[in-house]
A and B are shown apart, each in its own frame.
Chain A
Amino acid sequence: MLNRTTFSEKSFDSINVIFLTFLMIITIYPIVYVAFASISDAGALMGHKGILWRPLGFSLDAYTNVFRNPMILKGYGNTFFVVLVGLFFNIVLTAFGAYALSRKSLAYRKPLLLFIVFTMFFSGGLIPLYLTVKGVGLVDSLWALIIPQAINTFNLILMKTAFEAIPDALEESAKIDGANDFVILFRIILPLSMPVIAVMLLYYGVSHWNSWFNAMIFLQDRSLYPLQLVLREVLLQGEASSNLGASDGASAMLSVTLKYATIIVATVPILLVYPFLQKYFVKGALIGAIKG
């Protein structure tokens, strides 16, 4: 055991704990502030100055309004569609690529991998991508948020590394039993790779849930807007009152709390999922980091 009796060591420990506690407070406070503000009484919040220590009054009006708002509900629906359908494509295609490229019997796997990895380092740029997506006819469809993001090369490499760690003997015995590559992938490799699948679900899921830029450039039809794009209007373009149908005085006041309720509603799903997947994504981040 460490000898921790000296004064300097004790003071080092206390300063460290104080500093880290301070850091936690700074990190969590903005989120707590938003949570407090969202359940505060709109009038009280407007008149308030300075740090918020607790909710000012209590009112769930903002939340009722969020869930009554067609734009936000539609956004929620669109985001769910993109996340669910997107994840399906992400997992299947990434697994296909990762599995094929992890097989040693594939003679051309090095050049094929290079062909794929090269895209991490060089890209045609934003405008050519836009023209491509437009050329394929995906503009103004939710598929524009799914198909062009079907595979993330970094994730593919991460998955390939995980597949390579599975002992070859398993595959061989399956082959002897007459299993083909699809059977091996779905019945043996994927069930054995649950940690990496969890990482994939989280990484891809978070990126779909949080993405707004592609929606902004590829979608003109407002009824297709995902949640983050609606949020952008509410939070950053100050269109809360006009877009959310709060035109009269009382509702304009409500829009102050509405903003915060919308943030909570858009963020809670992620914050609920991530602690459960934490042990996996730390592992995933490491596999990824080692591979570059």
Chain B
Amino acid sequence: MNTISPETVMPFIPKKRSRLGILIDIRKNKLLYVMLCPVLLYYVIFHYGPMYGAIIAFKDFSPRLGIWGSDWVGFEHFQAFFTGPYFWRTIKNTILISFYQLLFGFPAPIVLALLLNEVRHALFKRTVQTITYMPHFISLVVICGIIKDFTVSDGVMNDIIVFFGGERTTFLLEPSFFRSVYVTSGVWQHIGWGTIIFLAALTGIDQEQYEAAKIDGAGRWKQMTNVTLPGLMPTIIILLILEVGRMMNIGFEKIILLYNPGTYETADVISSYVYRVGLQDFNYSFSSAVGLFNSVINFILLICSNWLSRKFNDTSLW
């Protein structure tokens, strides 16, 4: 590499970083710091600001007194959450929904990528890809609107179920169906998009392995299980570990759009609970405590899974 080192440009800068290092760096890269100014300001205000604001979880926040002026209450709100009636319900729902998502949503794109990889007809392959990517770009509001429309008792789903001799159910009003509807629609929406990374990994597999397998008499199926799948393994493992790291981070947008008081029992997750208690009931401090608890768990999970990924895969986020 023939970059101009700082020394050649400005020989008077001492090599060792002094206490004044940052000032020297600012003078040397004045314009870069000018560019960074609004960027860092944005992060300070809208990311670190809320982190500071999260201390209201340990206070009795009153908008009149402000964050700093409100009284400290220690872990009172956390205790109230841990011993409250919704603790186990929201934890259980969060874990179960993530788990089902992992169980069905994670392998689906892998299977689709493997099948797409076997397609020899390029135009057909592209068509399948273009069409299956599409739902990924449709807004959640529209997706949930369609879900609702299709699953009401006189909707298309029920017409099909009746055609096959089943009975009508209003899926979104039944707590027992919430998770299935949530997970299935998620798979439907993102299966195509999820294949992108696996298809890319597939192009990296050594073609000679296929030749060798063919000479050994392996058919298409054997080639798939013995060459393609092992070739995908590193990608699969790292994505799986990352996915586990995000377990508790289940988004509330789709939940809020789909659930109703009748399905809270199986649908209410930590983040939707935070939203309801905080922004609908204006219980700011309690809700912040629940949110902070969730953030901390997420963070720990992520650190652990990153550690695992580094250990097994030699790849990590940082």
Q: Which residues of A contact B (CB under 8 A)?
A: 2-3, 6, 8-9, 12-13, 16-17, 19-20, 23-24, 26-28, 30-31, 33-34, 49-52, 93, 96-97, 99-101, 103-108, 112, 114-117, 119, 121-133, 135-136, 147-148, 150-151, 168-169, 172, 175, 180-182, 185, 206, 209-210, 212-213, 217, 228-229, 231-232, 234-236, 259, 263, 266-267, 270-271, 274-275, 278, 282, 285-286, 289, 292
Q: Which of B48-56, B80-88, B89-97, B99-107 contacts A (4 or more CB under 8 A)?
A: B48-56
Q: Which one, B148, B163, B197, B284, contacts A289 given CB within 8 A?
A: B197
CA distance A266 to B156 in the complex (A): 22
Can you identify 14 A-B contacts, CB atoms within 8 angstroms? A2-B120, A8-B219, A13-B118, A24-B128, A93-B39, A96-B38, A107-B25, A122-B299, A124-B291, A125-B291, A150-B42, A236-B148, A263-B145, A292-B316
CA distance A228 to B143 in the complex (A): 11
Question: Are the C-beta atoms of A127 and B118 separated by less than 8 Å?
Answer: no
Please give me the 10 A-B residue pairs with the lowest Cβ-Cβ distance, nearest first.
Answer: A124-B50, A235-B145, A125-B291, A128-B53, A210-B139, A128-B50, A96-B35, A97-B39, A181-B31, A119-B47
Question: Are the C-beta atoms of B139 and A105 separated by less than 8 Å?
Answer: no
Given contacts A127-B291, A231-B142, A282-B196, list 10 more A-B pairs with CB under 8 A.
A24-B128, A27-B192, A28-B131, A125-B288, A126-B271, A126-B275, A129-B46, A209-B139, A236-B141, A270-B139
Closest A residue by C-beta to B3: A168
Given A106-B25, A150-B42, A263-B142 in contact, is the A123-B295 Cβ separation under 8 Å? yes
Given A50-B159, A181-B31 in contact, is the A129-B38 Cβ separation under 8 Å? no
Within 8 A of A (CB), among B136-151: 137-142, 144-146, 148-150
Within 8 A of A (CB), among B111-162: 112, 115-116, 118-120, 124, 127-128, 130-135, 137-142, 144-146, 148-150, 154, 156, 159-160
A166 to chain B, nearest CB (A): 13
CA distance A271 to B142 in the complex (A): 13
- Does residue B250 face the partner (Cβ distance < 8 Å to A)? no
CA distance A259 to B195 in the complex (A): 32
In the bound complex, residues from chain A placing their C-beta under 8 Å from that of B31 are 180-182
- Does residue B73 face the partner (Cβ distance < 8 Å to A)? no
Interface of A is mostly: helix
CA distance A267 to B143 in the complex (A): 10
In the bound complex, residues from chain B placing their C-beta under 8 Å from that of A126 are 271, 274-275, 278-279, 287, 291
CA distance A217 to B278 in the complex (A): 11
CA distance A68 to B306 in the complex (A): 53
Q: Which residues of B contact A (CB under 8 A)?
A: 1-4, 6, 17, 21-22, 25, 28-29, 31-33, 35-36, 38-40, 42-43, 45-54, 56, 67, 112, 115-116, 118-120, 124, 127-128, 130-135, 137-142, 144-146, 148-150, 154, 156, 159-160, 163, 188, 191-193, 196-197, 200, 214, 219-221, 242, 253, 256-257, 271, 274-275, 278-279, 284, 287-288, 291-292, 294-295, 298-299, 302, 316-318
In the bound complex, residues from chain B placing their C-beta under 8 Å from that of A289 are 196-197, 200
Question: Are the C-beta atoms of B25 and A51 separated by less than 8 Å?
Answer: no
B134 to chain A, nearest CB (A): 7
Question: Are the C-beta atoms of A267 and B146 separated by less than 8 Å?
Answer: no
Question: Are the C-beta atoms of B257 and A232 separated by less than 8 Å?
Answer: yes
Question: Are the C-beta atoms of A13 and B120 separated by less than 8 Å?
Answer: yes
CA distance A136 to B53 in the complex (A): 13
In the bound complex, residues from chain B placing their C-beta under 8 Å from that of A185 are 35
CA distance A107 to B131 in the complex (A): 46
In the bound complex, residues from chain A placing their C-beta under 8 Å from that of B154 are 49
In the bound complex, residues from chain B placing their C-beta under 8 Å from that of A105 are 6, 28-29, 32
Closest A residue by C-beta to B291: A125
CA distance A106 to B29 in the complex (A): 7
A146 to chain B, nearest CB (A): 11
Closest A residue by C-beta to B139: A210
B146 to chain A, nearest CB (A): 5
Closest A residue by C-beta to B26: A108
A32 to chain B, nearest CB (A): 11
Question: Are the C-beta atoms of B52 and A228 separated by less than 8 Å?
Answer: no
In the bound complex, residues from chain B placing their C-beta under 8 Å from that of A12 are 118, 220-221
Closest A residue by C-beta to B132: A27
Question: Are the C-beta atoms of A131 and B67 separated by less than 8 Å?
Answer: yes
In the bound complex, residues from chain B placing their C-beta under 8 Å from that of A180 are 31
CA distance A101 to B32 in the complex (A): 8
Given A107-B17, A235-B148, A275-B130 in contact, is the A210-B140 Cβ separation under 8 Å? yes
In the bound complex, residues from chain A placing their C-beta under 8 Å from that of B33 are 100
Closest B residue by C-beta to A230: B141
Question: Are the C-beta atoms of A266 and B139 separated by less than 8 Å?
Answer: yes
In the bound complex, residues from chain B placing their C-beta under 8 Å from that of A285 are 193, 196-197
Q: Which one, A115, A129, A236, A274, contacts B50 given CB within 8 A?
A: A129
Given A50-B163, A105-B29, A267-B139 in contact, is the A20-B120 Cβ separation under 8 Å? no
CA distance A286 to B188 in the complex (A): 21
Given A20-B116, A49-B154 in contact, is the A286-B197 Cβ separation under 8 Å? yes
CA distance A234 to B120 in the complex (A): 44
In the bound complex, residues from chain A placing their C-beta under 8 Å from that of B119 are 16-17, 20
